[in-house]
A and B are shown apart, each in its own frame.
Chain A
């Protein structure tokens, strides 16, 4: 009886949902507005490779070497000298107050010790409260240190020049050689926006019927749970596609994100991903007693999705248990797929290992939603 599906009744629910969606102007505007807002906000705002960080210099030795080193540090692009300091106490204060991110200290007698081959210490202190803000800058320092002084160390001092190791180290940054954050963030936003709006909309869909008292009437009719569920889910799949189109067009026009892969393949993956989110939203809506509770459940699901999926922070940086948790979330797999298709030009073979977990999630969440849907008011 449960899976006795009537296309006519399904169509009735579907049409009703569309009409209601159209009447609810604010929600409708949100559905298109949210992706645009998030895209502009996050796309332009988030930068995981910050440059020109404020730096202070405490130079106790004003030699040509010191000047060359400071210039070299600035030339890396990560440092911008904003202050000259005169004492260590001043340096401490500047870091403590957060006025500068780095303090470069050139000790007394730096040039004399250098010329004598005593390897003097050039101290760089960083405000490393936020590791992400400083790590790239500090990594860039290492290469400066190696060759910056080669030009100044001439004649008798040539022996102090940097000697390269016996092998050559070559690094290739593939798929995003310039390390442009947007290339990573913008495709990821497709997944984040969909997770948020899809789960929220459906979680509200059924609770709204309870809150407005219309569920009693709906339950008294012959309509089956599967018809209600599919009828409520399909309109949002279409909304989801609209959102994705908006983001993809903006990604191309505003951020020039590369799109190497097959967009048709992406749209097939999208159905699966959207449906998985709708199914979990639907499950929430059968558990929640009010729209307020439904919203809370949505955020209970949305926050881990945002933080543990690899959207905000590197997935592999998390401990094993957190990675397992992350692997459960559809967003984790979708992020890998969407980044793979757009940036790496992945095909079916490459994405399959991330495709089936989404399918499995959909199956489980969908079954849960259907069994949880109460056919009575008990």
Chain B
């Protein structure tokens, strides 16, 4: 186990009511990395994050977070982790300043007043600090929550769908901030549903039905999928898509703006199968790079749904 591994867990398992929500989960996250957590709803992302910061006790598995044992030393981990929950979990009936002040106190932040003041300045909320947190819009709540979990200078940030319901501008600003933090040496583990955000991560992990399907950089994930994709444009794409879906060599047909992405796992077979369609008048076939989304949708379709088993 090298010093650089901030998160290093093996075989994490969690069962709720007989359902394996997280099954034999292992990852390793290095210091200063932005690690993206992807997967459909209910795939176990939140549960995994909660186990990492000591909010849930794993039923099985072991590992360390910031060098501390995740089962026995969760109290030590909590002090150095900033956890941003999926749902806004600061106090809506406290003002912005009171919320930050409360968090700073429970983490026993040195020079608290100064730290809170600086956080308010950086947020651009210094003038509105007396406003109740419950009155803020979704984007501002997200900024406030991030500011709150950075107050105690954590070494690891666990962000659970931090940008859900936030406008593109605020999202971009948020990601710039995350990259700045990573450059300072803070490790970030972030779960998301947005592909553009996934591409901003240094490494990705894709989870479905509690199982880790793949980890790697975005390029590695795409390469590993062996997908070949063609982009087609032309008239009556809807009708064409219906026909294409019946071709066995084609694993996936996905509308993509004014084009269709047609993918298969075996390039020569796909090529042969498409020959017949290329002759269609008005259609234009261009080889395309499979997107992360194509890859993930493909992986999800293939993953055994052990929840329904």
A217 engages B56 (CB within 8 Å) = no
A349 contacts partner chain B, Cβ-Cβ < 8 Å: no
Interface residues of A in 89-105 (CB under 8 A from B): none
Kindly specify which of A15-23, A72-80, A241-249, A340-348 makes contact with the partner chain: A15-23
Query: Chain B at the A interface: mostly helix, strand, loop or mixed?
Result: loop
A220 within 8 A of B: yes
Rounded to whole angstroms, the CA-CA distance of A15 and B89 in the bound complex is 18
A33 to B101, CA, bound (A): 32
Nearest-CB distance from B80 to chain A (Å)?
Answer: 10
Cβ of B91 under 8 Å from chain A: yes
Q: Is the CB of A214 within 8 A of B56?
A: no
**Could you tell me which residues of chain A, from 1 to 47, have a CB within 8 Å of some CB in chain B?**
1, 6, 8-9, 11-13, 15-16, 19-20, 23-24
Is A377 interfacial (CB 8 A cutoff)? yes
- Contact code string B22-63 (vs A, CB < 8 Å = 1, else 0): 000000000000000000000000000010011111000000
Residue of A nearest to B99 (CB): A16
**Min CB–CB distance A226 → chain B (angstroms):** 13
Please tell me if the beta carbons of A214 and B89 are within 8 angstroms of each other in the complex.
yes
- Do most interface residues of chain A lie in helix, strand or loop, or is the interface mixed? helix
Q: Which of A23, A214, A377 has a CB less than 8 Å from the CB of B50?
A: A377
CB neighbours (8 Å) of B107 from chain A are 221-222
Q: Does B94 contact A (CB under 8 A)?
A: yes
**0/1 string, B249-283, CB within 8 A of A gives 1:** 00000000000000000000000000000000000
B window 47-104: CB within 8 A of A: 50, 53-57, 75, 78-79, 81, 83, 85, 87-94, 98, 102-103
Smallest CB gap from A22: residue in B: B93
Determine whether A266 belongs to the interface, using a CB cutoff of 8 Å to chain B: no
Set of chain B residues within 8 Å of A23, measured between Cβ atoms: 93-94, 132
Whether A222 contacts B103 by the Cβ 8 Å rule is no
A215 surroundings in chain B (CB, below 8 A): 89
Report yes or no: A221 in contact with B98, Cβ–Cβ below 8 A: no
Closest to B54 in A: A376
Q: Is the CB of B108 within 8 A of A221?
A: no
| A2 CA to B90 CA, complexed, in Å | 24
> At the interface, yes or no: A219 with Cβ under 8 Å from chain B?
yes
The residues of B with any CB-CB pair to A shorter than 8 Å are 50, 53-57, 75, 78-79, 81, 83, 85, 87-94, 98, 102-103, 105-108, 132
